[in-house]
Amino acid sequence: MSENSFAAARAFALVLFLALSGFLGSSSPASAVTGAAIVRDANSIQLGDVTYRLDGVDAPELDQVCIDDHADPWTCGIEARDQLAKLINKRPVRCDDVGPEKSFGKRHRAICTAEGDKTSLNEQLVRLGFAVAREPIKANVKPAAAEAKTASAGIWKGCFVAPQEFRTGKKDGALLGAACRPDREKEIRAVLFPEDLTMPPNCSIKGKLAVRARVTGNIGIYHLRGCPSYPATTKPDRWFCSEEDAQAAGFRKAYNCRRPK
């Protein structure tokens, strides 16, 4: 083999290695998945057995309560999920993996786009006002977030706390939205963090924030139906639809709790 041929063969081998290793970007089959989407919540899309969180997006949780522009309690997390489902409209979705999501278990962040759309679902959901911008890896949603806030779109028309603060039970977090009234702050916070948080449909797993859970690197403990601790947990801080969702939110299973048969 000539020296030039040998060099060309080495270069080809290197390119092939990088492509198979996923180092050449989103064109790699390992970094992009297309398929039928299951909307877990307004933050998360499941394609096959993989769940992705939308990069740059932080949407209300399914059990989160907001206040609408008429000062009434509003299940904004459920509506945000439904808005994402409407955007997808049963079309195939492509999710480009942009890296691991350190705060949510084994899930990865992704930029996801429904078939036929030029704009990502990440950007569309934020522009509609059903999510706030969070620090992205690659998604550029900040202009859409500013637009939604200015237009008082979606959750911005009412009053809410950032989803991150709801997840961690930070009851003194900043109040956001056009309908927040300083003279009604105490009443507003009582609505946003109710003592008896309503269970979303088909989401019966109870979560309780607990300092002792930090020993295992978690923020709380979850309890399944049929567990001894389930009936005793009368005022859960969170409701989850699956164990995966609870674990992704930083909760561990109660030690006295075994999977129901």
pLDDT at 79: 97
3-state SS, residue 133 = strand
pLDDT at 216: 86
pLDDT at 246: 94
CATH code, 141 = 2.40.50.90
Residue 58 is assigned to a structural domain of this protein: yes
In this structure, what token pair is assigned to residue 138? Answer: 């690659």
pLDDT at 259: 55
Q: Are residues 34 and 120 in the same domain?
A: yes
Rounded to whole angstroms, the Cα distance separating 17 from 26 reads 15
Q: Which residues of the chain have pLDDT under 50?
A: 4, 6-7, 12, 14-29, 260-261
Phi/psi of residue 162, nearest 5 degrees? -55, 140
pLDDT tens digits, residue range 187-235?
999 999 999 999 999 999 999 999 999 998 899 999 999 899 999 999 9
Q: Which amino acid, one-letter code, is at 168?
A: T
What residues make up the domain containing 236? 205-253
pLDDT tens digits, residue range 241-258?
999 999 999 999 999 886
Q: Are residues 222 and 128 in the same domain?
A: no
In this structure, what token pair is assigned to residue 27? Answer: 């064109």
pLDDT at 31: 86
- 8 Å CB contact between 112 and 93: yes
Q: Are residues 36 and 114 in the same domain?
A: yes
Q: Are residues 42 and 113 in the same domain?
A: yes
Q: Are residues 219 and 179 in the same domain?
A: no
pLDDT at 24: 40
The pTM score is 0.83
3-state SS, residue 56 = coil
Q: Which amino acid, one-letter code, is at 182?
A: P
